[in-house]
Amino acid sequence: MQKLQKWSPALVLAGVALGAVMAPAGASSHREAPFLTNAPKVDGTDFYMFRSYAPGRQDYVTLIANFIPFQDPQGGPNFYQFDQNALYEIHIDNNGDAKEDITFQLRFKNTSKRTALTIGGKQVLIPLINSSTISGVNPASLNVRETYTIDMVKGDRRAGTRTRLAGTGGATEFDKPVDNIGDKTFGGTSGYETYANQHIYDITIPGCGTGRVFVGQRKEPFYIAVGKIFDLFNLNPLGAEAAGNKNDLEGKNVSSIALEVPIACLTAAGEPVIGGYATASVRQGRLINPAPGSGINSAVKEGGPWAQVSRLGMPLVNEVIIGMDDKDRFNSSKPKDDAQFLNYVTNPVLPAVVETLFPSAKAPTNFPRTDLVTAFLKGLPGVNQPKNVVASEMLRLNTSTAPTALANQNVLGVAGGDNAGFPNGRRPADDVVDVSLRVAMGALCVLTGTSDALGVGCKPADAPAGGLKLTDGVRKSAADFKPAFPYLNTPLPGNQ
> 196-215 pLDDT, tens per residue?
999 999 999 999 999 999 99
Which pLDDT score, from 0 to 100, does residue 321 have?
A: 85
Average pLDDT over residues 430-443: 92
Cα 261 from chain centroid (whole Å)? 16
Alpha carbon 2 to chain centroid, angstroms: 28
Q: Is residue 53 part of a domain?
A: yes
CA angle, 141 then 145 then 151, to 5°: 150
Q: Distance between CA atoms of 43 and 304, rounded to whole angstroms?
A: 20
Sequence-ordered list of residues with C-beta below 8 angstroms from that of 171, at least 6 positions apart, any chain: none
Q: Does residue 492 lie in a domain region? A: no
**Residue 103 is assigned to a structural domain of this protein:** yes
Residue 33 has pLDDT above 70, yes or no: no
Split at pLDDT 50, 70, 90, the class of 363 is very high
Q: Residue 452 domain-assigned?
A: yes
Domain that holds residue 104: 4-480
**Residue 487 placed within a domain:** no
Task: Quote the pLDDT of residue 288.
Answer: 84
Regarding beta strands 253-262 and 60-71, do their DSSP bridges make them parallel or antiparallel, or are they unpaired? antiparallel
Percent of the chain with pLDDT over 70: 93
User: Do the domain assignments include residue 485?
Assistant: no
Could you tell me the pLDDT band of residue 27, with boundaries at 50, 70 and 90? low
In a domain, 494, yes or no: no
Q: How high is the pLDDT of residue 294?
A: 74
Q: How many domains does the chain have?
A: 1
pLDDT the model gives residue 5? 35
Q: CA gyration radius for the chain?
A: 23
Segment 61-77 shows an average pLDDT of: 95
Rounded distance between C-alpha atoms, residue 399 and residue 56, angstroms: 16
Residue 145 placed within a domain: yes
Q: Give the pLDDT score at 115.
A: 96
Burial class (CB in 10 A: 0-12, 13-18, 19+), 433: buried
Query: Distance between CA 472 and CA 466 in Å, rounded?
Result: 16
- Phi, psi (deg, nearest 5) at residue 215: -130, 125
